Chains A and B, each alone.
Chain A
Amino acid sequence: AQSVTQLDSHVSVSEGTPVLLRCNYSSSYSPSLFWYVQHPNKGLQLLLKYTSAATLVKGINGFEAEFKKSETSFHLTKPSAHMSDAAEYFCVVSELGAAGNKLTFGGGTRVLVKP
């Protein structure tokens, strides 16, 4: 069975400083991994995805994530936070099964950006 743990439920950063959102996963097979962002009362928007190509994945809005198989981690980073980055972020693992891909969501990390 697959699972996803987002290690911080809340992260607070100052504008212009780096952001680090931590995600660890467990999976029986080689998974696909995603990060999604959700702004208040909105749906989820895909930031980036890892699908067994390059281990360093670049996404939209300056975000990137590194897949580390030995650590079963897929942490999300951004060098310089912007006020518009205040949102909730979800790490998602996907495994291919008999009925297609099954997505498992982490519990989310809420990011607060201080001016």
Chain B
Amino acid sequence: DGGITQSPKYLFRKEGQNVTLSCEQNLNHDAMYWYRQDPGQGLRLIYYSQIVNDFQKGDIAEGYSVSREKKESFPLTVTSAQKNPTAFYLCASSVDPNQPQHFGDGTRLSIL
């Protein structure tokens, strides 16, 4: 079955440490997205990529970095510069930026 796989499901970070969240899709979608979800709030866009080797900052990109070296992969790094990283992170993809997005099951990041 085609879909989006996020790993790990739960992740813990120590203070001052960078961590990388994985997002892989086998839907052959060009566009991929990273969102952050905080309790009781909607999703906020961190980064997005419309095509391989290209990505753009979203509304809350500070403290995060991404890469898009392959069409199927869009990893997100939460750097030590992100002072409040505890959240639920969702990856999504779409055939193109004008189509509905399909979501992975998320990674919950917590600080030790």
Q: Which residues of A contact B (CB under 8 A)?
A: 4, 9, 34, 36, 41-46, 49, 90, 96, 99-103, 105-108
Contacts and interface: CB of A to CB of B under 8 A. Distances in A.
B69 interface: no
A52 to B, nearest CB: 12
A49 B42 contact: no
Contacts of B108: 41
Given A99-B97, A100-B96, A108 B41 contact: yes
Interface of B: 4, 6, 9, 31, 40-45, 48, 50, 56, 88, 90, 92, 96-98, 100-106, 108
A43 B103 contact: yes
Given A41-B108, A100-B31, A108 B42 contact: yes
B104 A34 contact: no
B78 to A, nearest CB: 18
A16 B61 CA distance: 43
B112 to A, nearest CB: 20
23 contacts: A4-B42, A34-B100, A41-B88, A41-B105, A43-B92, A43-B103, A43-B105, A44-B43, A45-B103, A46-B102, A49-B100, A90-B42, A99-B50, A100-B31, A100-B48, A100-B96, A101-B97, A103-B45, A103-B101, A106-B42, A107-B41, A107-B42, A108-B42
Q: DSSP class of B's interface residues: helix, strand, loop or mixed?
A: strand
A108 B4 CA distance: 23
Prevailing SS type, chain A contact patch: strand
A42 B92 CA distance: 12
Contacts of A44: 43, 90, 92, 101, 103
A-B residue pairs, 5 tightest by C-beta: A100-B97, A105-B42, A43-B103, A44-B103, A105-B43
Contacts of A100: 31, 48, 50, 96-98
A49 B97 CA distance: 15
Contacts of A45: 103
